[in-house]
Structure 1
Amino acid sequence: MYDLWIGSVVAALAVGVFVWGLIFWCVVRYRKRGDELPPQTRYNMPFEILYTVAPFVVIAVLFFYTAIIQTDVDRLSKNPDVRVEVIASKWNWQFVHSDSKGPAGNPITEVGADDYIPILVLPAGKSVQFRENSKDVIHSFWVPDILFKRDVIPGVENKFEIRLKDNAQGAYVGRCAELCGTYHSMMNFEMRVVTPAQYQQYLELRTAGRSTPEALAQLGFPNNGYATTTHPFDTDRTKRSSS
């Protein structure tokens, strides 16, 4: 994927050098040298062909690399390392680890509340396939530091896949990036990236009946296992004054 990005950057730079070189050449070559009117020419076929064909070539090159990169970004593997279902609703998140089994045989689920920031735990260095759904209106699943954002549309199942870097361990704030109603700004979550070994321990603790904060606290994470990048908002409007 990085090779494709490098290719697109090189192509863009080549186009920029060509265009600016042509501009400066015209400025120097055809600058005013006196009061005599320069020769007037019309119907210069080579130049007409050049400025007609060149833009199409530029567009074709950019479209080619854009299509390749978008196809690569949207590609889904048949056997991802982790599958997660993202369910958005006004105004919180639910995360379902589709490949895991909880105490009652159901997939391990993490649900947010007004007084609790949900934490999505994922392993570093692994491919993660997301399947998104919305219960009500359009939301948007966004983790700014990981550089990806996808809309969550009611009635439309949106799938996408990312691969987290081996050194991506840490806590990242997640947000809803689509104006979805009154408490849109409060619709946060945290994505906690751990090592593969810690992720397996986390699943085992969740299967044993521990909550996410309890499991993360037992693994030695700070803040007693609760979110560290964001915090719940007070939804009681009577306790707030106008700004």
Structure 2
Amino acid sequence: MGAEGHADGTVGKALDVLDMVARHGRPVRFSDLLTQADYPKATLYRLLQTLTHQGMLTLDPDQGTYALGVRLVRLAHAAWAQSSLAPIARPYLDELAAKTGETIHLAQMDQGQVLYVDKRNAARPVEMFAQAGKVGPAYCTGVGKAMLAWATPEALDQALARQSFHRHTDHTLDTPDKLVTELKAIRARGHAFDREEHERGIICCAVPILSRTGRVLGALSVTSTTARTTLEALEGQSGLIKDIAAKIATEAESWRFPEQN
């Protein structure tokens, strides 16, 4: 589909531009956006003007750069409170962190990718990719695979189409067939592993957070390093992780969450 024929019209184009600016992680010039965008110069300029006028972007007139606007902070805060598991899960993450002494991750699915919505550092913190607010791949993370394993067939197909299957380490499952086989095994045992699939030395045990009807609300993991523990030891925590996930799911029953895609 051409840029001018975006299925979601002007709103879809504007969101694409916001995503482009966000991916840079720093203020970005018009010329840099133009090289990445599928839109004509005039269309991109018009979208940037509209987003700036609406406070979704800010323009530095001296540097000629665009950055995400403060209005997005307000919207993000509202989304965090209304759609994120983080506010209601907070005491349960604290409980799991205290009992395990390891890093705890809470995640939800966002357009086939993992959105980390909260985290508790280990008693001895370890530097790793996953941080609250970051987006990571679903196919090679414990929380991602836990959510994919319980996804509906339609949601799974959509998510698989969005995976890059880039080989991050020697342990990465780098094809859809390998991943689907792993997802069946995850369903059978009730929990997922990250076997150094995204980062060398980082391992985890993860479980899905499911509603009473089986809908995937998110996922919870206990993460550590191969220098400190083993997958077998983390698996020994799976019952505790499932108990905490069930508490979060029960608490979430009184909330309204958007369907996870």
TM-score (norm 2): 0.23
Q: Report the structure, 1 or 2, having the larger strand content.
A: 1
Which structure's CA Rg is the greater one?
1
TM-score (ref. length: structure 1): 0.25
Between structures 1 and 2, the one with greater helix share: 2
